[in-house]
Each structure stands twice: as C-alpha cells, then as structure tokens.
C-alpha cells in the first residue's frame, strides 16, 4: 500500500502559486484546487495547474439536489481532473446521481464523498442537530457513500482505522487535517502527522500551509514524501 501527497493551492490566483508549483514539480504529483481559487478563476485555474504537469484534485464539495449535482459532475468531468468532491450529507439520491454521471462522463475520475469536515468537533455537530461523535457520523456517511456508488471518501485521519475495518478494501481514503510534527494546527481540530495517517490507511494526504509557509516549500514537501515512504 502507498500513500501520496496532495498539495493545497491556498491562494486566490494561479499566478501567485505558479512559482511554488514549479519548485514542487517532480516532488509532488497532485495539487488541490479548492473553492477560493476556483471561484476566482474558474475552470482556467484547473487547466493552468494541469498544464504545469500536476494531477488535479478539484475540491468543490458539491451539495445540491440530485439533478443539479449530476450536471455539475458532468461539467467538471470535461476538465483535466483526477478527483472531485461532493458532500456525502447530500444523501443517497444525490450521491447515486453523481456517481452515475461520473461513470458515464469520466470513468477514470475518482468521485469522493466528503464525510465530516476536519474543522468540526462533537459540539459543532450537536449544534447542527447531528448526535453522536464525529467518528460515528463519518462511518455512517462513509457507508452510505459507498452503497451509493462512490469509490472514495474524504475523512479525518482519526477515522481511518474504523473505515478500513468496515468498508471494502478498494475504497480510496483522502485525509486533510495533516500536520507535520511541530506544525501549527490552524483551523483543523482532528489531525495526525503524515506518517501516522499513512500507517492508519490513508491513500492520499492533503497538506497546504506547512508546505506553502515553509522557508523552502520544496524541501518541506520532500520531507513529507520521505516520511510517507518510510511509514508504508
């Protein structure tokens, strides 16, 4: 089993990120385009990152009625992306529609169900009417997503062991909330180090600020990659 690094493009423009991406080329294979960048520059942001030689993880966390999300998946599938996210909380009908659209439009695209955001704790869930722990909600939504036809999930690294026990072995698990030892947690509350996440069963880890804010981003990324290789 291997674990790969996804670098987060935590900036409002691809122009701002291009120098860092060029330095990371050859060390990092995947780059994540999220809401901030996609809202600012749209599909051109995805094409620009792909043109630099990266596999693109488009993290839009789609959440709407089934037909709307299915159409959005079809539109996104025309872009040079390898992964796309939808919210598992959108329910079975929405996820089934999205999975059908993905299979028909881009069979190789990995459609990921986002379970519980890593910024949320038990008290946050309780305020939204969700009982139980984040872990129990992650497992509940993870099972539903797989039953609905999704082949991958986004989850906190803390839930990796439970998901590996209860889901089919082929399900791909992508984990944000990764912080190298000594790094600040920022707005993440359920975190692990890269090695801990790899040993727990992550297929991909998502890292942004610990690389972007390092004095030498390429060196920071290489250290994480080496940590992942050693862990698995």
Q: Which residues are catalytic?
A: 61
Strand extents, DSSP E, the chain = 4-8, 30-33, 55-62, 83-87, 110-114, 152-154, 172-175, 204-207
For residue 178, the cross-strand partners are 192
Q: What single-letter DSSP state applies at residue 104? A: H
Identify the three-state secondary structure at position 10.
coil
Contact 34, 8 (CB under 8 A): yes
Q: Calculate the CA dihedral of residues 76, 159, 173, 39 and round it to 10 degrees.
A: 20
Write the CB contacts of 230 (distance below 8 Å, at least 6 apart in sequence): 195
The whole-angstrom separation of Cα 34 and Cα 228 is: 24
Q: Angle, to 10 degrees, between the axis of helix 14-24 and the axis of helix 217-231? A: 50
208 phi/psi in degrees, rounded to 5? -120, -85
The whole-angstrom separation of Cα 95 and Cα 161 is: 24
The whole-angstrom separation of Cα 230 and Cα 232 is: 6
């Amino acid at each position: 089993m291997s674990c790969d690094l996804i670098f987060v493009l935590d900036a409002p423009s691809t122009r701002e990120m291009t120098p860092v991406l060029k330095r990371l080329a050859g060390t990092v294979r995947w780059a994540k385009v999220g809401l901030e960048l996609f809202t600012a520059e749209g599909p051109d942001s995805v094409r620009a990152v792909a043109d630099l030689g990266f596999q693109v993880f488009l993290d839009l966390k789609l959440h709407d009625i089934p037909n709307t999300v299915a159409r959005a998946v079809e539109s996104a599938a025309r872009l040079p992306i390898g992964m796309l996210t939808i919210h598992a909380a959108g329910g079975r009908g929405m996820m089934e529609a999205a999975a059908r659209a993905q299979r028909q439009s881009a069979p190789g695209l990995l459609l990921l169900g986002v379970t519980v955001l890593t910024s949320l704790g038990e008290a946050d869930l309780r305020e939204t009417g969700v009982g139980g722990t984040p872990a129990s909600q992650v497992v509940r939504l993870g099972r539903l997503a797989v039953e609905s036809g999704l082949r991958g999930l986004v989850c906190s690294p803390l839930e990796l062991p439970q998901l590996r026990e209860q889901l089919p072995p082929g399900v791909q698990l992508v984990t944000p909330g990764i912080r190298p030892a000594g790094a600040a947690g920022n707005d993440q509350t359920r975190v692990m180090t890269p090695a801990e996440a790899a040993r727990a069963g992550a297929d991909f880890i998502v890292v942004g600020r610990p690389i972007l804010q390092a004095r030498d981003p390429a060196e920071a990324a290489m250290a994480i990659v080496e940590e992942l290789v050693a862990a698995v």
